[in-house]
Chains A and B, each alone.
Chain A
Amino acid sequence: MDWFDYVLLGVQAVFQGPVAFELAGFAIPISVLMVLSGFLLGILVGSTPGLAGPMAMAISLPILISVFGYHESALLPVFGFLIGVMKGATVGGAVPAILFNTPGTPDAYMTTLDGYPLAQRGEANKALRVAHISSASGDTFSDIVLILCAPFLAIIVERYLDLPEKTALLLLSMAFIASVIGRSAGKGLISVGLGLLAAYVGTGEDFSPRLTFGSEALAQGFSVASAILGVLIVGEVFKSMEDMRRDGISSVNARVKNSERRRGLSVGLLRSISPYIARSALIGTAIGALPGVGSTLAATLGYTTGKGRHAKLHPQKAQFGDGIPEGIAATEAANSSVSGANLIPVLSLGIPGNASAVFLILAADSIGGFNPGPSVFRFNADTVNPELVVAFGLFTMMMLANLLNWTIGGRVMRAMGIMTRVPKHYLLPVILLLTLTAIYIQETRLVAVWFTIGFGVLGYLMRRIDMSPLPFVIAFILGGRLEETARQAFSATGSDPWFLFSSATCIVFMGLTVLILLLSARSRRS
């Protein structure tokens, strides 16, 4: 089998897989239906301030696993739904930012700067169309880069990196994530350390489980779902509820003027926003390919670069922040182009770069049969590598989601303005109940619910002391792999205690690990 056969198998797995139902004589494959459902749900949650893509992914994952089971055939429909949510939420975040000056997702904050003034001038429709076309362009570009880069990066990793190098690479990734997420390398490193420590509770190779204080409940360890949902979702619910209790409940009462005729964007406008979209798509993709660097930074950089360029080229015209479409285009193309590129480290190295990627790994981990990492792209000429087929199925579904984005995304997005009026303080307790129920249904033991609440408390405290919980989550996921790779590397090098410095590549990786942490701490100090 050659590469093209694998691509074909991936496409076939999506379009010729199990049929959901027939529509006018056409069989609708279940994977296609799941991408569509996820995409619509994603726009809905992205348009609702207080909700976000990862929340929807977290809540729907146990339902999806219940529906499709723990079989390899469940992988594509579940991934399709999660990919759909991820892409829909990216587009949807611009809706409340433009209509009500309230970013639906943190990375849409910059969109408010030009989107809201445009909406106030009665050009909300135009602003939403610009946001949609920029977001869809950035996202599609980013996916193409992912499809082209991830397999080659994975092949290089498999071919040139041995066990000690892989261990050093994992440490380098964690140091990088600790340094770039949040505003303090020290806090990032503490977060990574705590995540690793939580991952090692109740596990190990010895007969008696470690770090359990002799407790039966801890002997099974913490489930990935409890830790991730607790820290990411429950912690955020606790914090947001306290903020609303303290600051009062703000209601969206603003009315949007709608004096414009509902028509498409003119060729002239498309021509003027294109360079901003292209520049921001490049920035967002480059940033997205680095694990841990989020879409908010991409949006800020895309906006700032576009702003400087606009001021230089058109000093006489209205500038960024005055309510011009170029400002929306620069932000939306940048934050949307992060989502596809963020999967490059996931698929090629098995290292999640953001919360959405975490849920894809969690789904793969729960269902089984697909281990994101370089082994996915192991090319076998004689036998079929099922993981490679799933990977190409995943790429197919990403392009399908892009197609949906280009065709129906804009219409759905413009219809979601109403979601901004849903009171957030009613939603958050419901999300908490939903999360705890989802955990219980997956684990079927009440102690897992208490663990989730415990992790929620940790997530809340981390947010209050300005420590990002994302390094914790990523370290928790990578903890098991780090230990396993280190054990194998130690044995493979003949029990060499200096195995992390056993080759030039290892030394470079370890040197970079120390350098990144020191430079990051130094830059924060200055």
Chain B
Amino acid sequence: MRSRYSIFALLITTAVVLLGFSGVIYAKTELVYWIHGYEPAVVANKEIIQQFEALYPDVNIRFDYVPHDDFETKLFTAFAAGVGPDVYWIADNVFPQMLESDMVDAVMPSAFGVDSQAEFETLFEPGALEAFKVDGTLYTAGISEYNTLSVYYDKAAFREAGLPYPSATEPMTVAEFIELGQKLTKIEKNRRIRSGIEFEWRLPNWISQTVEPWVRQLGGELVDPETGMPQFDSEEVITVVQLLQDLVFKYETSDPAFVLQDHVEDFAYGRVAMVLGGPFHMGFTRGLKPDMEIGVMPFPVFEGSPRVTTKYSWAWMVNPHSRNRELAWKFAAFAATEHQGLWWNNVRFIQPLKGKMDQLIEAEPLMETFVADFEYSKYQFSSTQYYELAHILLQAVSEVTSAPVDVRQVMERAQKEALGAVGL
């Protein structure tokens, strides 16, 4: 009886040891991958992960997504705690901070099947990667989301106002844009029913991306690219901020108080006739209102000024301290360069792979405008204090659009704060 128990115990022990060993032998290599939350992108990523795991059965990718507003905070705190993800997305505006904090790895060309960084760069549209390049070194695996801002318009609102649809490729002047905005604004019994033009008034990066291309059209800069010095009290910036104030109080085409939560959501529900938006907003708008008739026109230009538009992007990054650095690059390369169709068809995220932009127009006629605007686009300003500067600008814009106060005075105050922010 006793020996039977002993044999049974031995068998159990052997089984446990064998199982344990098999676990060690077949333990999968884990990669942690984080993106900001956006449902279509989450779905697409899951599909890519599945494909990658099928190609590399010994790899397990732990995928997580965080709401947009909290994403960078979580990323920084994770890196601070030494548990940063192996692969992740970041926007070009936080890249300088990330680089300064040693959170981004220089590109590994072999992961893309090329010999050098220069060869890797040829895979992309010229200038698409420049926001992630410092002193000749590139720090990205590719762009997940390439954006410029053009103007979406509601065709039904145009028809209702008896207005012809604008050109899809030739920009109108700022004056024409305002006039259109006034005609499309609907105010009944002193109550606004529809705004002609609205922007994303709440977020610092959006305000900066709205103001900056107009400032550049006038020959100025929000932040001097050479010295890093803010130029918030320059004539060009004051002119543009004055324009935003006039849209609210003089022309009454816009009202930040009217935007309920998100300007594009208001657009989809017919509360706004024209909004500034990126290519990804097509999917977002159609998701909210599938039958909406959307048009897109180029970013307006100041009379007599050159055409300048904005550009920003999100990109795949690899953690330089990843324990599986090579594998991380392999995965990033797989996600970044082999699924343009999936990204475009399912997410409406543009990946600026060389020679592929025209295919986007074939798939989606509205892309014609964005592709045209990309030609004149310039990346937003780069600074390790990007958010602080953009926030100071946002506060100034918010102040002048909430009350008819003196714009120059507000911008002079903003400039002092901005200089303080960059330590000057």
A binds B: no
Interface residues of A (CB under 8 A from B): none
Interface residues of B (CB under 8 A from A): none
